[in-house]
């Protein structure tokens, strides 16, 4: 049975910028009566962690929101969890009472956008606030390793996107961008019964991964002209187009790649102020829907965990690097460069 730490300090990887991540000593967080202290066993580096336009304004800080670990201390009023539980924790959770939540739009909730755990996943211990304990903490099934458990949050984001896009089995799908999120889309689409699946990227290594993970066709981004896409999909464009790379040109390509009555899902964010050209006449004529998605509310987390537990979405083969906390800076470089890494996992206890 794990015991709460006797040390008053812990190691934490502090982000200053992508090429400056420093391991420092930080206080072990103290918890309140409704909170948990979780020993972080595994923490995934997300593509959003290396978006400097988003992160630099908040630096220095401890990042890491894809975590799995062990409860080592529980507040006296916590009833659903106890010491020794294997858990994954969502950093963003909704209030469940605002007008957005009551309408089912949990990702628009101000509370969801402001909640977090303390301080972040790239450290040895995190404090889980009461609201995250209540609706953002989930048991990691025995069938899953801690490394696999870190995929619950990113997979939940993917599933929420497919739900918002009203994806149905049999629909064809094109994923623009085969980073880790794009590859998770490929795996989820295959698991949920998509028809033809195609993926694009600038990186041959990632395109090969897309083929291994379920894509029927994998095209270099520069070669993905509409006629080639039709060739890859039996003569038609795609029912669903997922924009999983944050660049204006990719967004514009998405608009050109959806079939009549299709949907373009904006998944990867662009920096504020960025614009993309929209072919308004063609979108109107062909009745193409444009939707966006953000985060993975609790119900999507539960569904993600079950898909992982059942092996419907297998993720072990997506992990290319497992690094001790001292090598977090290397992990950030690997993800930022995006050459031969897919999923990079940091193990804070090593």
Q: Tell me the average pLDDT across 153-170.
A: 98
The answer on pLDDT for 302 being more than 80 is yes
Q: Is pLDDT above 80 for 96?
A: yes
Whole-number average pLDDT of the chain = 96
DSSP letter string, 153-197: HHHHHHHHHHHHTT--TT--EEEE--SHHHHHHHHHHHHTT-SSE
Would you tell me how many other CB atoms lie within 10 Å of the CB of residue 261?
10
pLDDT of residue 348: 98
In this prediction, residues 255-282 reach a mean pLDDT of 96
Tell me the torsion sign for CA atoms 43, 153, 313, 341.
negative
Q: How many residues does the chain have?
A: 350
Q: Which alpha helices (DSSP H) does the chain contain, by range?
A: 52-55, 99-102, 110-114, 130-135, 146-149, 152-164, 180-191, 204-212, 226-232, 248-257, 280-285, 298-309, 328-337
Mean pLDDT for the stretch of residues 229-233: 95
Reply yes or no on whether the pLDDT at 2 is more than 80.
Answer: no
First to last CA, the chain: 19
Mean pLDDT of 89-105: 97
Tell me what the mean pLDDT of segment 293-315 comes to. 97
Q: Classify strands 36-44 and 66-74 as parallel, antiparallel or unpaired.
A: antiparallel
pLDDT recorded at residue 144: 98
Q: Is a pLDDT exceeding 80 seen at residue 175?
A: yes
Residues in CB range of 292: below 8 A, 6 or more apart:
164, 265, 266, 267
Q: How far is CA 22 from the centre of its chain?
A: 24
Q: What is the pLDDT of residue 227?
A: 93
341 pLDDT higher than 80: yes
Token pair listed for 136? 């953002």
> Which domains are seen in the chain, by residue range?
9-154+296-347 (3.90.180.10), 166-292 (3.40.50.720)
Asked if residue 229 has pLDDT above 80, the reply is yes
pLDDT (tens digit per residue) in 200-216: 999 999 999 999 999 99
pLDDT for the residue numbered 1: 66
Q: What is the pLDDT of residue 140?
A: 98
Mean pLDDT for the stretch of residues 106-128 = 96
> How confident is residue 340, by pLDDT bands cut at 50, 70 and 90?
confident
* Angle subtended at Cα 25 by Cα 19 and Cα 30, rounded to the nearest 5 degrees: 125
């Amino acid at each position: 049975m794990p015991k709460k730490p006797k040390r008053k300090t812990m190691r934490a990887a502090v982000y200053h910028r992508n090429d400056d991540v420093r391991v420092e000593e930080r206080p072990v967080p103290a918890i309140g009566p409704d909170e948990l202290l979780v020993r972080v066993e595994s923490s995934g580096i997300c593509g959003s962690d290396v978006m400097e336009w988003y992160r630099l304004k908040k630096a220095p800080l401890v990042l890491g929101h894809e975590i799995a670990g062990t409860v080592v201390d529980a507040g006296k009023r916590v009833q659903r969890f106890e010491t020794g539980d294997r858990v994954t924790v969502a950093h963003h959770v909704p209030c469940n009472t605002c007008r957005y939540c009551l309408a089912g739009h949990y990702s628009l909730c101000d509370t969801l956008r402001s909640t977090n755990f303390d301080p972040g996943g790239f450290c040895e211990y995190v404090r889980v606030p009461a609201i995250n304990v209540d609706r953002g903490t989930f048991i990691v099934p025995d069938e899953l390793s801690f490394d696999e458990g870190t995929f619950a949050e990113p997979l939940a984001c993917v599933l929420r996107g497919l739900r918002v896009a009203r994806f149905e089995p049999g629909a064809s799908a094109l994923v623009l961008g085969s980073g880790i999120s794009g590859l998770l889309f490929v795996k989820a689409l295959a698991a949920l019964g998509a028809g033809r699946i195609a993926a694009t990227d600038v990186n041959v290594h990632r395109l090969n991964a897309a083929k291994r993970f379920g894509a029927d066709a994998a095209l270099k981004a520069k070669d993905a002209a509409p006629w080639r896409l039709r060739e890859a999909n039996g003569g038609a464009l795609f029912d669903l187009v997922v924009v999983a790379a944050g660049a204006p040109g990719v967004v514009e390509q998405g608009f050109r790649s959806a079939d009549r009555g299709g949907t373009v899902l904006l998944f990867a964010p662009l920096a504020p102020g960025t614009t993309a050209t929209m072919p308004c006449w063609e979108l109107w004529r062909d009745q193409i829907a444009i939707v966006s998605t953000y985060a993975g509310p609790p119900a999507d987390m539960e569904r993600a965990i079950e898909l992982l537990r059942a092996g419907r979405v297998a993720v072990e083969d997506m992990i290319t690097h497992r690094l001790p906390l001292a090598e977090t800076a290397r992990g950030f470089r690997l993800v930022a460069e995006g050459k031969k890494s897919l999923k990079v996992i940091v193990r804070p206890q090593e």
